[in-house]
Amino acid sequence: MAKSRLRPTRKQYSKKTKDPKWSKSKTIAMTIIGVLLSILALMAIAGALIQYYRLVTK
């Protein structure tokens, strides 16, 4: 019973993601946001390491 109920919902999700109107623009926007957030995170980690290194060397 549970498996037969889950199968149609998975098909609906696959149909929604195949729509070309919103999926392309949304995925591009999400990738841009993800890249920017990852760059900001790397810069924050680098800044924290530089500050720690300066504190240790003094």
Where along the chain do its domains lie? Answer: 20-58
Rounded to whole angstroms, what are the CA distances from 8 to 2, 15, 20, 28?
Answer: 11, 11, 21, 28
Tens-digit pLDDT profile for residues 46-55: 999 999 999 9
* 45: nearest Cα among 34, 56, 33, 37: 37
Confidence of residue 10 (pLDDT cuts 50, 70, 90): low
Phi and psi torsions of 29, nearest 5°? -65, -40
What tens digit of pLDDT does each residue of 15-46 get? 555 555 667 788 899 999 999 999 999 999 99
pLDDT of residue 1: 52
Which DSSP symbol is given to 51?
H
* pLDDT of amino acid 27: 87
User: Which two structure tokens, joined as six digits, stand for 30?
Assistant: 């999400």
Rounded Cα gap, residues 52 and 40, in angstroms: 18
